[in-house]
Every structure is written in structure tokens, then in C-alpha cells.
Amino acid sequence: MSCKTCDGRQSLSFLEVDQLVAEQLAVEIDLATEAQCQERLQLCFDCPFLMGHTCHKCGCFVKFRAALRFKGCPIKKW
């Protein structure tokens, strides 16, 4: 899947995204609980704005945004 700003020029597999997200989360200090993260991700997975692993509204990798304690959904689902 490609991000909304790449116009298909750059595409990453789900495995590549998981690796990038894991690397970045390793240096973050203010993370959501695992339960919060899973609840958020379920809402994202059911959302019509999800494009593969990217939110079409904000352009983020949903696994990354959902794991950050003080981040929220751009359309206020969580």
C-alpha cells in the first residue's frame, strides 16, 4: 500500500510497515496501554477511511498513531 501523499510512487508491505512502526515505537516514551491500542486499532480496521495500513484522513500509519497515548483519531472515533 502507498501513502496518500505518494500517489503510488512509494509502496510498503505490511511487514515493512510493522518493522518501521516497531522501530519508532522503541524510542517513544508515552505509549497507550496494549488494551487501548487494540481498541483503537479495531475502530480503525472498521473505518472506511483506512487504506491498507494508512489513514486516508491524516496519512498516518494507524498502528503507530494508535500506540501513542496522546494521539487521537482525526475523525474523533477514539
Q: What is the pLDDT of residue 10?
A: 65
Strands 54-55, 50-51: parallel, antiparallel or unpaired by DSSP? antiparallel
For 49, residues 6+ apart whose C-beta sits below 8 A from its C-beta are: 55, 56, 57, 75
For 17-75, the pLDDT digits (tens) are 889 899 999 999 999 999 999 999 999 999 999 999 999 999 999 999 999 999 999 99
